[in-house]
Amino acid sequence: MTFKAPGISGGSGFANLARFGTGQFRVSITKHGFFDRQAIKDALKYMNMHALSRASLQVRRYAQKSIKKRGAARSPSKIEVLNEGVPLSKLVEMPGLPSRTKGMLIKKLRELKERGGSKPGTPPFTHVDGGHMLGFRRNIYNAWDSSSQSAVAGPMMRGEVPGLPALHEFGLAKTLRAYLYKSRTPSKTPLIKWFDEALPPTSPLWLRMKRRKRVGYPKRPFMRPALAKAIQRGDIARHFRNSFGGP
């Protein structure tokens, strides 16, 4: 911004902002083409990249922390470290174990067997060792997209079930249709299988039946709540505060 005193030619790009009292002093600001200047563009680009990158990193951290560890994802306890290689089922039977330690081992052993999910509407659990590259927590990233001048945060499409992150975040509801397998050899127990109604089997050996059912997978969002938390706590606004400037 350029402030000009009276008597100095300002050209067509100057606008009178204020007049103080009855005096002749005028405050003018250059506005024509201000945001078209390359220096300003570069400064704004740097501001966006710096602020949004840090904001997306905060969203990523909130999302990672909201995903609780269960079973194999839990950090090994002291007794597990001291008895490396010994199965949990054997550790539980060790004599002289404090009741608290034994209860913790039993809980972890149950989680390994059941691999239960979180309550619908809450962030999912992770059951994979945190050091593994496919661990649910480790599969969340943030990045700056220079082509769209924006930042993104979220999971990548990889793992044993590539669509699992989206399934957790948005849920799923679809209609299934029952199909009877037309076997050449008669069987007392006919084979009936359910297919997505939008993706029926292509083999003519599957006979379409009238039976249908609606199945749903509940939402367990973790990215949207992380973004809402970052906004509520002012993290995104904080990274933009006093950030206009060059590298």
Instruction: Give the 3-state secondary structure of residue 24.
Output: coil
Q: Supply the pLDDT for residue 139.
A: 84
Cβ-in-10-Å burial (0-12, 13-18, 19+) of 73 comes to buried
Q: Supply the pLDDT for residue 209.
A: 94
Half-sphere exposure (CA, 13 Å, Cβ side) for 127?
Answer: 14
Q: Supply the pLDDT for residue 162.
A: 59
Q: Is the pTM of this model over 0.85?
A: no
Mean pLDDT by 10 residues, the chain (247 residues): 34 36 45 57 71 91 93 88 89 90 91 88 86 70 86 77 78 89 75 87 91 90 94 89 61
Q: Supply the pLDDT for residue 183.
A: 77
The DSSP 8-state label assigned to residue 72 in this structure reads G
Helix ranges (DSSP H) in 15-120: 38-66, 78-82, 88-92, 99-114
CB atoms within 10 A of CB 151: 21
In sequence order, the β-bridge partners of residue 69 are 126
Q: Supply the pLDDT for residue 65.
A: 93
